[in-house]
Amino acid sequence: MRIGELAERAGTTTRTLRYYESRGLLTARRTEQGYRSYDEDDLRLLQQIRTLQDFGFELEETRPFVDCLRAGHPAGDACPASIAVYRRKVAELDGLIEQLQAVRAQVGAQLLRAEAELPHGPEPRCELDTVTDTEG
């Protein structure tokens, strides 16, 4: 298939495919007329890259998975380098979760403190009532 068809089937642009090619993640074969030519393996490779990027992986972090697919591993993640990237990403996510939990605890404490300072709890207030009162 040509680059336009591959881009459409992969849900990306031809510009992105050319960029991946320039980064060595995608390899185009050339027809006799000089057109780029791709096959179903290239589509699988692109789907792997896009899935990983959807999970928050940087483009360069997808390289071990691409290499693993090219080596013949059907899922692209059963190679030591891919597993190492998974481990780094899990550790990164664990760190982010810890940070978010700490921020949540701080915001929750601030909320409790602010609510405790109110004499009878928060008064319901409608901004539309305020606008109506000032217009009349």
Amino acid 102: pLDDT: 97
With pLDDT > 70 as the criterion, what percentage of the chain qualifies?
Answer: 88
pTM of the entire structure? Answer: 0.73
For the residues 89-104, what does the mean pLDDT come to? 97
DSSP 3-state assignment of 45? helix
Report, as an integer, the average pLDDT of 47-63.
94
What's the rounded mean pLDDT across residues 60-78?
Answer: 92
* Mean pLDDT calculated for residue range 88-97: 96
Fold for 3-117, please state it: Multidrug-efflux Transporter Regulator; Chain: A; Domain 2 (1.10.1660)
pLDDT at 135 over 60: no
State phi, psi for 5 to the nearest 5 degrees.
-65, -40
Mean pLDDT across the chain, nearest whole number? 89
What dihedral do alpha carbons 13, 15, 21, 25 form, nearest 10°?
-40
**pLDDT category of residue 124 using cuts at 50, 70 and 90:** low
pLDDT confidence bin for 94, thresholds 50/70/90: very high
Domain boundaries, the chain: 3-117
Cα dihedral 50, 55, 61, 64, rounded to 10, equals: -70
Neighbours of 45 (CB within 10 A): 23
Summarize pLDDT for 41-50 with one digit per residue, the tens.
999 999 999 9
CA 75 to chain centroid, in Å, comes to 19
Which has more pLDDT, 136 or 3? 3
Q: What is the DSSP pairing of strand 36-37 with strand 29-30?
A: antiparallel
